[in-house]
Amino acid sequence: MVSTKNISKITSSMKMVSAAKLKGDENRLFAARPFNKWTHAICGEPKLIEDATFDELPQKTLVVPMTSDKGLCGGVNSYITKSAKIVAAAAAKSGKEVDFVIVGDKGRGQMRRFFAERIKRTATDVVSPGTFSLAAALASEVAAAGATDYGAVMIIYNSYVNPAIYKQTYKLIKPLSGEGEDEPMMEYEFEPETKSEILADLYEYTLTSQLYDSFMDGAASEQASRMAAMENATKNANEMIQSLTLRYNRARQARITTELIEIISGASALED
């Protein structure tokens, strides 16, 4: 009973800490979203995993699952792992290939059991709250895995809706290269005229911006999920305390009754 009460105090405190952190993550997320809207014109709108058919996947795709380094946050990391499995299965069914660059220790631990040979790089010990510099470092990790050798980079992350809801979403970022009819951004004029160099820099910046936005979404979803998980853990601990208290009182009453019966029986034997 004492240990369960201590657990209840710990989980209740963790819930309050997560609630405080969630407010900060929400503010950072809502501030970051407007600065990433420009990428929608280049990469398209983010799409939900549950509604996707993945027909737009190229022959080779580099998948970047965004997970966390810490646990005790419900299924926030497991959902990303399941989504990565769905993408891999859909690609294999179409005869396409996927490799992985995993962000977060929890995702690495879960996915290396299934895709150990496909994991190109991992990024762990990611410090939160995230910054744009951190996103740039993550983009460098993705680039070091040979991002330009793939037809697209897919970022899988938890999109924050509200403290009770987050949805698994993905973004598909294709290289800004091509010739003829496939040449991107034909309607724009470039200064200087070295368009290929500008597009390479723009692609790197686009990837960084998308990773930053995804990281902010994932951080808010993680705190919301941890807050809910700790609330449920506190509720379960309190229910267990009530159950243990009832069992303890019943055992104590049974022992007192037994002792009273023994005393009465002994007194009766002395009278006889």
Place of tokens 């503010």: 27
> Which pLDDT score, from 0 to 100, does residue 212 have?
93
> Which pLDDT score, from 0 to 100, does residue 183 have?
64
> Which pLDDT score, from 0 to 100, does residue 178 have?
55
Give residue-wise pLDDT tens across range 69-104: 888 888 899 999 999 999 999 999 999 999 999 998
- Give the ranges where 66-194 is alpha helix by DSSP (H): 76-93, 105-115, 132-144
The set of residues, in sequence order, having a beta carbon less than 8 Å from that of 8 and lying 6+ positions away, is: 234, 237, 238, 241
Superfamily of domain 21-229: ATP synthase, F1 complex, gamma subunit (3.40.1380.10)
CA distance 208 to 193: 24
Enter the pTM of the model.
0.85
The set of residues, in sequence order, having a beta carbon less than 8 Å from that of 27 and lying 6+ positions away, is: none
Q: What angle do CA 126, 80, 7 make, to 5 degrees?
A: 70
Which amino acid appears at position 178 of this protein? G
> Which pLDDT score, from 0 to 100, does residue 74 have?
85
SS3 177: coil
Residues in the chain, pLDDT under 70: 177-184, 192-193, 271-272
> Which pLDDT score, from 0 to 100, does residue 85 have?
93
Cis, bond preceding 65 (omega within 30 deg of 0): no
How would you classify the pairing of strands 60-65 and 97-103?
A: parallel
CA distance 247 to 225: 33
